[in-house]
Amino acid sequence: MNELRSDHRKQKKSKKLKKRIIYSVLLIFAILLGAGIYIFYQAMDAANDSYDSLDRPGEKSERREEAVTIGDDPISILLIGVEDYSSGGENGRADTQIVVTLNPKTNKMTMTSVPRDTRVEFTAEEATELHAGFHRINSSYTYGSMSGYGANKLTVEKVEDLLDIPIDEYITVNFEGFRDIVDSLGGVTIDIKEGFWEKNIYNNNEKVYFTQGPSELNGEEALAFVRMRKRDVNTIYPRDERQRQFIQATIDQAISAGTIFKVGEITDILGENVETSLKASEIYALQKAYSSMDASEIETFEIEGEDNRVDGLWYFIYTEDGLATASSQIKQELELEDTTTSNTTE
């Protein structure tokens, strides 16, 4: 009889323990679900705050016959890094311009840097009568803002014209956002190929020294790492290469397991420092389509050319063959017909 009572008590304790476990799991699930909903809506709000349409007919590039579907079609995105700290946040310059292609069929990403000093021509409509003529391509952001044409729109169109490719979307981030996003991610680790130094614009221009080998950089250090371009080491370790290294490192960090818990910090930064033509739903589609991508396999293309003085000013002058090659490579990734090559071979 005592054994029966003992077994009965054990069964009751076992049932209570199971209930507690189930309740605990449900509670944890509810907390995670609630946090997920909060993060989702917070991210949606930030994305909506950052959204700035290119206002194009049919919501597509003139170089597209049909609009692309994010997550389904190969697309191009222009990454624009704006330097506006020296002008108090007004009329900044497009210090960084990188064309990114993403192909969901191959799960492949490519990056093509557009040298900031590339010589291009501006019309009076684009840059006002005062500035019509030849200028560096990084002036497009400034002139587009001053003329009312649109800073991001003109920057996108100048890159489209240069490379003869469609730019489907853009993402613009200023230096404040650049620094803060890196810090919110906990820094980035970059394998520095050549030692150098650069001024820290946020700390009285104190020098930041970079030594060869893997280094973990905070936001201010990462900004100094990609900015340096005027010393001799830049010919050995080009700025464009450092920018691509930084983007790869940031992608690696952004898709790491712990990043989801920092979304709150990141979304606070995005609304104030980032502009993009991507809608919140499209950003989600991108994340869903490319979250498993290996950043170490990103392929990089370059526009061949050299710096030359024209009318007393230094410009990057591309070679016709170098520009045609870069254009062909991008079109191939976008699965577009290369009419330039076709005309050449006929």
Q: What is the pLDDT of residues 33-87, one digit of tens each?
A: 444 444 455 556 666 677 888 989 988 999 999 999 988 999 999 999 888 765 5
In a domain, 11, yes or no: no
What distances in angstroms separate CA 126 from CA 13, 87, 293, one per listed residue? 78, 21, 38
34 located within any domain: no
For the chain, the distance separating the N- and C-terminal CA atoms, rounded to the nearest angstrom, is 100
Distance CA(199)–CA(207), nearest Å, equals 4
pLDDT of residue 50: 79
Give domain status of residue 16, yes or no. no
* Nearest partner of 255 among 290, 279, 226, 221, judged by Cα: 290
Between CA 134 and CA 334 the distance in angstroms is 30
Q: How far apart are CA 225 and CA 228, in angstroms?
A: 6
> By the 8 A CB rule, do 77 and 173 touch?
no
Is position 102 within any domain? yes
Confidence of residue 291 (pLDDT cuts 50, 70, 90): confident
Global confidence as pTM: 0.80
How is residue 64 written in tokens? 């597209």
Under the banding of pLDDT at 50, 70 and 90, the label for residue 274 is confident
Tally of structural domains, the chain = 1
User: What does the alpha-carbon distance between residue 83 and residue 176 come to, in Å, rounded to a whole number?
Assistant: 9
- Between CA 250 and CA 187 the distance in angstroms is 8
Mean pLDDT along residues 154-160: 96
Quote the tokens at residue 238. 């080009």
Report yes or no on 72 lying in a domain. yes
- Confirm whether 284 is domain-assigned: yes
334, pLDDT greater than 80: yes
CATH number at residue 256: 3.40.630.190
**Between residues 209 and 107, which one has the greater pLDDT?**
209
Domain of residue 277, residue span: 51-345
Does residue 116 lie within any of the structural domains?
A: yes
